[in-house]
Amino acid sequence: MTTMLEQRRASDAWTVDDLDQFPENDGNRYELVDGVLVVSPSPRPKHQWISTELFRALDRACPADLKVFYAPLDWQPNQRNSLQPDLLVVARDDVRDGPLTRPLRLAVEILSPSSRLYDTKVKFAKYAEGGVTSYWIVDPDGGPSIVAYELRDGDYVETARGSGDDEVHLELPYPVTVRPSTLLA
């Protein structure tokens, strides 16, 4: 018996409809980038620890018209792209039953050795292309650290950066201050 992956030819482009055929709880993250399937392993405890603490900070400051979510939750801006940010903020009015399709207010990626290039280059470009207002990259190593970007005229511009005990004042999608060292405290 062959698997769906084995049956696919390399030239076949994947669509968001194909993602429904994968198991939900097999420990992998399935994403699409321009019709190419990207499979990632589940995150490590350090990654989840940071995700939990940052979620709490974002959720405490979140205004009533927005909602904070954590992965896995698909953002599918079109049929050939489906990404799962580690954390995301959306307008409450954009939440429906199923994947999110409207531009996110915030996407947060927490780097790991296997995702560093993917998160800082590929996802960086896809989020900008999809109109994601703000993108934060959190690096668990060296502090940890946060770099925040805002979308301006179709490109991301760095707006804040900090590591360790620095207070990082972030304005979008709403004002929140984060001290990176507390994300692993």
121 residue type, one letter = K
pTM: 0.87
Question: pLDDT of 51-92, one tens digit each?
Answer: 999 999 999 999 999 999 998 899 999 999 999 999 999 999
Residue 179's CATH number: 3.90.1570.10
Evaluate whether residue 86 is within a structural domain. Answer: yes
Evaluate whether residue 7 is within a structural domain. Answer: no
**H/E segment holding residue 128:** helix 123-129
Evaluate whether residue 11 is within a structural domain. Answer: no
Evaluate whether residue 2 is within a structural domain. Answer: no
59-89: b (≥16 Cβ within 10 Å) or e: eebbeeebbbbbbeebbbbeeebbbbbbbbb
Q: Which pair of tokens denotes residue 31? A: 């994403």
Evaluate whether residue 134 is within a structural domain. Answer: yes
